[in-house]
């Protein structure tokens, strides 16, 4: 079988050290050339080098997804360098204040909406015509926060629920033009930020970090926490022709923590 993304061009927003990097590398391993967008130029350069090492082309474009002109430059560069765009992954995100909704600062909630919702709409609109040229695919990275209503997660849940609604409505709008729009909702992601947090919890409780991991894993069907590559592979599937009849859907990639 040919690599699922052979010779396709995928744009990824929010290439950070966790899932963003994993998405970029797994898309490249699946045969894609990758356009990397985030604000930190040094990180983009590092990930671009890793992609080149996999034998694919990488274009690093420092981008602020909340800025229209910056996003227009991203589109222009992607098309100038690669001549086409087949996939767009909206991964960039911002965590709003983790406080109860009745106390959360409204401006901070609004700022998170700018990144988590409106920026995903902005990028999808800007790439829509080119995606339509090649039966393209858009994937929104959501969160298992969709599946619970725990205290202090309200503002984050509001933004991710709006992102899900955005994906579904865009699927209806862009489907007739051949563009698919889907969502991947990870739960825990076993990467540096969670490792740091578990170490912190372990220190607070005076237990080994492995105990915090095992207690968390015990609440998950597969008894382990998914790694960035495992979530990225679900995104590769949705970007690829293997998912050519799948649109408007949300795929939860959480090891069975929540069933949906
Ligand atoms: N981490 C988790 O446990 C977890 C769990 C469930 C779902 N998720 C979802 O998975 C996705 C990735 O999360 P992650 O923690 O692994 O993060 P990541 O991919 O390591 O990094 C995301 C990157 O987004 C970029 N970003 C933020 N604001 C931006 C802006 N205005 N313009 C351009 N880029 C911007 C930041 O890079 P710059 O500062 O360089 O711009 C940041 O490094 C998010 O959508 C998140 O909601 C994460």
Judged against a pLDDT cut of 90, whether residue 1 lies above it is answered with no
Q: Residue 234 sits in a domain of what CATH number?
A: 3.40.50.720
Pocket of ligand 1 (CB under 6 A): 14, 16-20, 38-40, 43, 63-66, 91-94, 115, 141, 143-144, 186, 188-189, 191, 193-194
Question: Could you read off the pLDDT of 194-227 as tens digits, one per residue?
Answer: 999 999 999 999 999 999 999 999 999 999 999 9
- The string of DSSP codes covering 173-218 is HHGGGT-EEEEEEE----SHHHHHHHHHHHHHHTS-HHHHHHHHHT
Is 156 catalytic? The answer is yes
pLDDT, mean of residues 187-195: 96
Q: Which helix (H) or strand (E) holds 229?
A: helix 228-239
List the alpha helices (DSSP H) in 88-191. 106-113, 119-133, 154-174
* 203, 187 Cβ separation under 8 angstroms: no
Q: Which of 13, 38, 225 to mutate to test the pocket of ligand 1 (most atoms within 8 A of CB)?
A: 38
Do 108 and 235 reside in the same domain of the chain?
A: yes
Residue 259 falls within a domain, yes or no?
no
d(CA 61, CA 92): 14
**Owning domain of residue 238:** 9-189+227-253
Give the three-state DSSP class for 127: helix
Both tokens assigned to 62:
């420092």
d(CA 237, CA 61): 25
Do 28 and 154 reside in the same domain of the chain?
A: yes
Domains held by the chain: number: 2
Residue 164 falls within a domain, yes or no?
yes
| pTM, 2 dp | 0.98
Atom of ligand 1 nearest to the CA of 228: 16
* 33, 58 Cβ separation under 8 angstroms: yes
Question: Could you read off the pLDDT of 90-149 as tens digits, one per residue?
Answer: 999 999 989 999 999 999 999 999 999 999 999 999 999 999 999 999 999 999 999 999
Average pLDDT, the chain: 98
Q: Name the nearest CA neighbour of 29 among 1, 56, 57, 58.
A: 56
Residue 63: the pLDDT is 99
Do 23 and 46 reside in the same domain of the chain?
A: yes
Do 165 and 217 reside in the same domain of the chain?
A: no
Atom of ligand 1 nearest to the CA of 194: 3
Do 138 and 67 reside in the same domain of the chain?
A: yes
Residue 90: the pLDDT is 99
d(CA 193, CA 29): 24
d(CA 61, CA 72): 11
Percent of the chain with pLDDT over 90: 98
Lowest mean pLDDT among 96-100, 124-128, 156-160, 233-237: 96-100
Residue 260 falls within a domain, yes or no?
no
């Amino acid at each position: 079988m040919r690599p699922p993304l052979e010779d396709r061009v995928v744009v990824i927003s929010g290439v950070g050290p966790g899932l963003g990097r994993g998405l970029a590398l797994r898309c490249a391993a699946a045969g894609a050339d990758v356009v990397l967008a985030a604000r930190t130029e040094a990180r983009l350069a590092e990930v671009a080098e890793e992609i080149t090492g996999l034998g694919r082309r990488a274009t690093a474009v420092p981008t602020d997804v909340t800025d229209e002109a910056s996003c227009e430059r991203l589109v222009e560069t992607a098309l100038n360098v690669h001549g086409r765009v087949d996939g767009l992954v909206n991964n960039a995100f911002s965590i709003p204040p983790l406080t109860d909704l009745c106390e959360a600062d409204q401006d901070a909630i609004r700022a998170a909406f700018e990144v988590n919702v409106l920026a995903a709409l902005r990028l999808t609109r800007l790439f829509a015509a080119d995606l339509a040229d090649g039966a393209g695919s858009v994937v929104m990275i959501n969160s298992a926060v969709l599946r619970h209503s725990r205290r202090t997660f309200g503002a984050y849940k509001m933004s991710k629920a709006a992102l899900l609604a955005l994906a579904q409505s865009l699927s209806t709008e862009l489907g007739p033009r051949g563009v698919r729009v889907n969502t991947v909702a990870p739960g825990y992601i076993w990467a540096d930020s969670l490792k740091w947090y578990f170490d912190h919890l372990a220190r607070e409780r005076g237990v080994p970090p492995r105990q915090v991991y095992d207690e968390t894993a015990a609440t998950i069907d597969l008894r382990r926490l998914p790694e960035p590559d495992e979530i990225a592979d679900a995104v590769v599937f949705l970007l690829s022709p293997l998912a050519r009849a799948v649109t408007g859907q949300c795929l939860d990639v959480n090891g069975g923590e929540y069933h949906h």
